[in-house]
Amino acid sequence: MKHIMEIMKVSSMKSINPILIKFLYRSAVSKLSDQKREIYQFIESKENQLEEISFNEMQFIQLMSERSPYKAAADHFSLDITSIKEVMDEAHAEIDQVIKERCNRIKWIDYSDTMRNKQGRKDNQWSFIFVS
């Protein structure tokens, strides 16, 4: 979840609906290779667990140090921590790239007048079509 928040901080994506960003994020994660996705989701899950039990940011940082998700992943996948870090860096870069590319292709088309005319309505209901 933290990675989604980092993605949303990118200035070009501030105007994009957070629900759409989450959808794009899940889609990008699903496109990772099997090994990258498994490692990425394992670490993300461990980080989320630590976040849930933390009372504040300082405790979260302490728990991250004491119960390192990267160390747990290294043990679980029988890899060294350096390899795990490389996989995570690559996964983050791939996820970011996929989301940026898709966000650059997004177009919203205001379809409100057409819908009002078709339905004979005069209200202020808005209709948009999302095209990617």
> Which range has the worst mean pLDDT, 50-59, 60-69, 83-92, 100-109?
100-109
Q: What is the pLDDT of residue 11?
A: 40
Q: How far is residue 105's CA from residue 17's CA, in Å, rounded to a whole number?
A: 15
Question: Minimal CA–CA distance to 124: which of 108, 110, 111, 112?
Answer: 112
114-132 confidence digits (pLDDT tens): 666 666 666 555 555 555 5
pLDDT of 55 > 60? The answer is: yes
Q: What is the CB neighbour count within 10 angstroms for residue 40?
A: 22
Overall pTM > 0.85: no
Q: Where are the beta strands (DSSP E) in 20-123?
A: 107-110
14-37 confidence digits (pLDDT tens): 566 788 888 899 999 999 999 999
